[in-house]
Structure 1
Amino acid sequence: MLLPALCCLLLLRSCCPVTADAAEECHRFTDLNLHNSIVGTDLKVQLLLYTRENQDCAEDLSQESASNSSHLRVSRKTVFVVHGYRPTGSPPVWLEGIVQRLLTLQDMNVVLVDWNRGATTLIYHHAAKNTKKVADILKKHIDKMLNEGASLDDIYMIGVSLGAHISGFVGHMYNGRLGRITGLDPAGPLFKGKPPEDRLDPSDAQFVDVIHSDTDALGYREELGHIDFYPNGGNDQPGCPQTIFSGSQYFKCDHQRSVFLYVSSLQETCNIVTYPCDSYKDYRNGKCANCKAFLPLTCPVLGYYADKWKDYLVPKNPPVTKAFFDTATKEPFCITHYFLDIISWNKNTRRGYITIKLMTKAGNTTESKINHEAAAFEQYSQVSLLARFDQDFEKVSRISLTFSTGSIIGPKYKLRVLRMRLRSLADPERLQLCRYDLVLLENIETIFKPIPCQNMQLQ
């Protein structure tokens, strides 16, 4: 039986040979090099479609209508990912990560907008000049989708650097009716001081959220969305090189951090909670920890799920909210916030800094140096310090405190602590840890076992 069946199969193949055209062609992001950058590139836009059916093999939508596409379904949400300036011509390192994680979260259309030919040049001005041309091309393709039954409510654009302004231009052409735009460190050079129609603006979509990670160099400092997130104040990002001797990473690490923070939000391993505040200084001083305005939600989270706060953020007048937060040095970037409350009983005011370390029985430790601003410890007055830890321990067996005035020479001081209390900001119901009657010698680590606060009474 097997031999006749095999003969029939071979006969069918000989009569109906499979051609190369029958196999699906996989399109790839344009890969250029420094030579292309030196001579310059003419603008050419390629739209690479990924769905759950073809998440490893992109379809090129550039010449197709929605009805002719093998994988595009206009009834689904469509996310356009738009890159920025490419001085060396290489594909962005984050492309695959953002595509795969978006498709893991939701059954959607993900379209990589490849305008590498046009973005690859040593002359930044040439790339910036192409942004409105790219927006015009995207508008034509979105119009095709709308003609096939797509809804502007389901169009979501994620723009990186120059790509953020391209997204804004598209939104402006639709009078702000796009569902959402996320700007990842929108480009600052050549766009600072421009009117709303010439840059990203809150009016470009129903909801616009922006992450600013390099405001002192390649990014845009001022607010551009309904909510603008400023990780680590928006300037230097932890883990990024601080000197020019680190090569290209010195120039692009802070700028790219916005992308990696967003990609991290797609994992759902932890939520990066942010704190609406007037300034980074106020956030670091613990003045913006009250999130009751957002009940039943908490404070806004960064990234993909930021739109959960849309109903609260968008109606504001003016429709702008700034949110600050700190991050760890590497993915998933989340940190844990605690308040360290200290009541001192020194007769004279002591000004200084506190370093707190948490330890578990297994020997794991996490540390927070609260050294951005000297605290004033006054007799019988409570000082609440915002402590930030890279790890969150369910059970803390030991705590250490170190007091410092920041002075290298001169007399050593003591901080007499009547009570210290550690309370979780993210989980107010978590057991609070206390300790009573401590003397902290300057620059000397004091280790102790904490006690549940409800077992203690001040006398």
Structure 2
Amino acid sequence: MKVLLVLGALLAAASALPIEERINGENGWYVPQVDGSFKWMELKDVEELLSRGEQMEGRARNGVRFYLYTRSNPTDGKEIEAEASSVHDSHFNKDHGTRFVIHGWNGRYTDDMNTLITKSWLSKGDYNVIAVNWDRAQSIDYASSVLAVPASGEKVGEMINYLHEHHGMSLDSLEVIGHSLGAHVAGYAGKKVGGGRIHTIVGLDPALPLFSYNKPDKRLSRDDAFYVESIQTNGGKLGFLKPIGKGTFYPNGGKKQPGCGVDVTGSCSHGRSVLYYAEAVTEDNFGTIKCHDYEAAVSKECGSTYSSVRMGAVYNAYMVEGDFYVPVNSKEPFGKIE
């Protein structure tokens, strides 16, 4: 409650910069509200808010749950805990690759994002798909939910360590996939496990509001796993525009997605990262064009020659680095191949 009161006071006071001087993600942020609108917060106000993050730690850690899906239980998730009996009573199989899937703000483990990605991976083979539910760690308010990200990510990292150390889960075949705020939860999980030991983290349009690009220790960064891939679809608004991953992919230039109409709130373009990734897992059909930098990807000035790289491909960890423009269709199938 104290955090919410402080946030309210900060938002009420956050109007010092004229609108024409506001640069989202540089000298402040447009923070999404529950009703779809945005409110401006300046750097100093955000820093004061984030300094109070320790007040959320207990709630965040206690609000994270894990639900396992396998081909034996593809639609009915089995809650597992960091206890031997819990894991042994589930269908967890150390010989199968593992995928952690992490929802974003105001999400839940049963949301379309989780079910779609779970279905995609289970259609490809035998996997342990663990949906992370951290909705009870959040608040209905976005800014307060940001405060829960570090502790939630640490809890995910602890579960990864537990399954690796006590149940033989391989880190070499582990992928952690997070959307929006969930991408940063994944980043903190990677920091907790440490040393780039998680094989792959996939950030689906990592959330921009209240995260600084020049503070990689406070967000998902390319060093949080052996390989970090980011699929950026609403850059400069709800998601980052500057490259987050070792391999960074810019569908349609990374700002706005075809077929989303006016998309005033950015939610359609933001959500397309999930649809693209799920399709990439099952179809491996997103051709890419290598760019010399992210500005070229955003401006769609990377030429027309397709590379050998496919967005979202499992093998990217061993061969991909840099920024890629990704042509996409306005409806399914979204991927394009030369």
Calculate the TM-score normalised by the size of structure 1: 0.56
Structure 1, residues 89-128: CA drift from partner, whole Å, max 9, x if none? Answer: 795323222111111102010000011112341x212111
Quick one: distance in 2 between partners of 1:232 and 1:105? 27
Are 1:85 and 1:161, in contact at CA under 8 Å, matched by a contact in 2?
yes
CA 282–93 in structure 1, closer or farther in 2 if over 3 Å, else same: closer
In the alignment, does 2:283 pair up with 1:275?
no
Counterpart among 64, 68, 72 of residue 45 in structure 1: 64
Deviates more, 1:63-72 or 1:43-52: 63-72
Q: What do residues 376-430 of structure 1 show as CA deviations (whole Å, max 9, x unaligned)? A: xxxxxxxxxxxxxxxxxxxxxxxxxxxxxxxxxxxxxxxxxxxxxxxxxx3xxxx
Per the alignment, in what secondary structure is the counterpart of residue 234 of structure 1?
A: coil
Output one character per residue of 1:32-55: Cα deviation in whole Å (capped at 9) or x when no partner.
xx8xxxxx9x54111010001111
Distance 1:63 1:285 in 2: 49
Q: Percent identity?
A: 30
Asked if structure 2 preserves the Cα contact closer than 8 Å seen for 1:277 and 1:288, the reply is no
Residues 1:287 and 2:274 are matched in the alignment = no
> 2: CA distance between counterparts of 1:116 and 1:222?
28
Query: Is 1:162 the equivalent of 2:181?
Result: yes
- 1:285, CA displacement in angstroms? 5.2
How far does residue 69 in structure 1 lie from its aligned partner after superposition? 3.2
Q: For 1:109 and 1:206, locate their aligned partners in 2 and report how far apart those are by CA, in whole Å.
A: 20
- Is the Cα–Cα contact under 8 Å of residues 163 and 169 in structure 2 kept in the other structure? yes
Say yes or no: does 1:263 pair with 2:278. Answer: yes
Structure 1 position 272, deviation (Å)? 0.9
Are 1:179 and 2:199 an aligned pair?
Answer: yes
| Alpha-carbon distance, 1:286 to partner | 6.0
Q: How does 1:12-411 map to 2 (within 5 A)?
A: 42-43=59-60, 44-62=63-81, 64-65=83-84, 67-86=87-106, 92-121=111-140, 123-146=141-164, 147-173=166-192, 174-242=194-262, 244=264, 250-268=265-283, 271-278=285-292, 279-280=295-296, 284=300, 287=303, 289=305, 291=307, 298=308, 300-303=309-312, 305=313, 307-313=314-320, 320-335=321-336
Stretches of structure 1 lacking an aligned partner (at least 5 in a row): 1-33, 35-39, 245-249, 292-297, 314-319, 337-425, 427-459
Q: Aligned partners of 2:168, 2:282: CA distance in 1, in Å? A: 31
1:50–1:59 contact (8 Å) kept in structure 2: yes
Of 109-118 and 138-147, the range deviating more from structure 2? 138-147
Query: Residues 192, 68 of structure 1: CA spacing in aligned structure 2 closer, same or farther, 3 A cutoff?
Result: same
Superposition deviation, residue 281 in structure 1: 6.5
Deviations 1:230-283 (A, max 9, x none): 011111111113154xxxxx4411111111100111232x61101111344698
Q: Equivalents in 1 of 2:322, 2:243: separation in Å?
A: 8
Distance across 2 between alignment mates of 1:127 and 1:165: 12
Secondary structure of 2:253 counterpart = helix
- Tell me, what secondary structure is at the counterpart of 2:130? strand
| Greater strand content | 1
Task: Tell me, in whole angstroms, the C-alpha distance in 2 between the residues paired with 1:80 and 1:56.
Answer: 16
Task: Say if 2:252 and 2:300, in contact at 8 Å, map to a contact too.
Answer: no
Check 1:90–1:157 CA distance in 2 against 1; reply closer, same or farther (3 A cut). Answer: closer
> What TM-score do the two structures reach when normalised by structure 2?
0.75
Shift of 1:67: 4.7
Q: How many residues align?
A: 276
Q: Deviations over 1:124-179 (max 9, x none)?
A: 12111111111121122222212222222122100111111111111122221111
Q: Which has the greater radius of gyration?
A: 1
Displacement of 1:77: 1.1
Higher helix share: 2
| Structure 2 portions without partners, runs of 5+ | 1-33, 35-55
1:82 and 1:113 in contact (8 A); partners too:
yes
SS in 2 for 1:259: helix
Q: Which has the higher contact order (CA 8 A, sep 6+)?
A: 2
Could you tell me how far apart the structure 2 residues matched to 1:282 and 1:128 are? 27
Q: Which amino acid aligns with 2:128?
A: N
Counterparts of 1:193 and 1:285 in 2: how far apart (Å)?
A: 23
**Partners in 2 of 1:117 and 1:153 — Cα distance?**
30
TM-fit CA distance, 1:207: 1.1
